[in-house]
Amino acid sequence: MTSSAADTALLDSALRDSSLSAATIEHEPTMDAGLKRLANDWFDGVLLTLDDPEHQGLEPLTRVCASAGRAAVVVITESDDVHLAEESFRLGAQDYLTKSAIRPAEFGRAVGSAIRRQRVLHEMLQARDEQISARDQFLSHVSHELRSPLSVVHQFASLLIDGIGGPLTTDQQDLMAVLMRNTGQLKVMIDDLLEVTRPESGRLRIECRALEICELLTETAAAYRPRAVLRHVHLGIECSDLPTVLADAERLREVLANLLDNALKFTPDGGRITVEATQQADMVHVTVRDTGCGIRPEDEDRIFQQFVQVERDNEASRDGLGLGLYICRDLVERQGGVIWVASKFGSGTAVTFTIPILNRHNAATIRR
């Protein structure tokens, strides 16, 4: 895509005199014409001049890179600007050349190398996508297959605890309690594996509706209060006079349950957990705050990644697969919010996520 007849002649001559002399070379004088060609035809490379007065800056490069597909994009300009070159590479260009430096032999090699690099990159990305797809299919299949025998183990263990097979001694009851606890942990792991494959395969649905968030937070926290009482952990909730939000109730409950489960896991006996909800601008901020062991500063950016478990002194840190917070982030972001963590190692952690308030701009979403 060139901006003038002089540019067209210069580039055509340089390519004809290079190792790409046998290549088919086509020119489009305008951005719109070039984008139309990219949408309808397949090319090995795209040469883009950024000197068109109608398209200043990097906006044309952004549009071309988004439409180029497998084609290598080479930026050609009169400006020998390091910052512009760096931004071009960041946006997806394979090379950045200045017109004053164009020599036929070097120019042909540069364009040819850009095309080869783009092909290698495309093959690597394609292989990565295939590996991710195969991994997700495997995890999903294994998770489903494990659910049935685990369900049977859980059912028979429950019958034994209930005395269906006869009374249990105190020692046997203690052993069955350990069995049930570990069975429950295994179920959580399997559910996490299933959950983490759903977003990437498109099976996870988010259906946002008008929701009174205080009621949901109160109900979810109440379900965890018996566990907290057994550990002498104070579980409180601070939530009142909040506006209606736009959210998926079940997915929001999953997020809160995951955060409360983590808080209970890492808060010592006699500690404190608080669920706080406040309005800030057009969002509701929900924070789960605990007085647990906290997170090291270098780990705060990692905890929302897949299969990441940070090292902690608490033995409970080895439970699970490291998927809970990754799933939380996915669910929150799919509902238009963000999630982050603030922690002081040794003193506790606060995880906050946001949910949009229902207003006239997003109200149409709930009438799908």
Residue 12: CATH number of its domain: 3.40.50.2300
Same domain membership, residue 309 and residue 166 = no
For residues 142 and 336, the model is more confident at: 336
Structural domain boundaries enclosing 19: 5-125
Same domain, 98 and 150: no
User: Do 44 and 190 belong to one domain?
Assistant: no
Q: What is the pLDDT of residues 154-163, one digit of tens each?
A: 888 888 888 8
End-of-domain residue from the set 102, 125, 148: 125
Same domain (yes/no): 192, 241: no
Whether residue 89 is found in the same domain as residue 169: no
Number of separate domains in the chain: 3
Averaged pLDDT for residues 265-293? 94
Same domain, 117 and 169: no
Of 79, 95, 125, the last residue of a domain is 125
pLDDT digits 0-9 by tens, 15-61: 666 666 666 777 777 778 888 888 888 888 888 887 654 445 678 88
Domain boundary pick from 82, 101, 125:
125
- By the 8 A CB rule, do 38 and 71 touch? yes
- Residue-level pLDDT at 267: 93
Q: What is the mean pLDDT of the chain?
A: 82
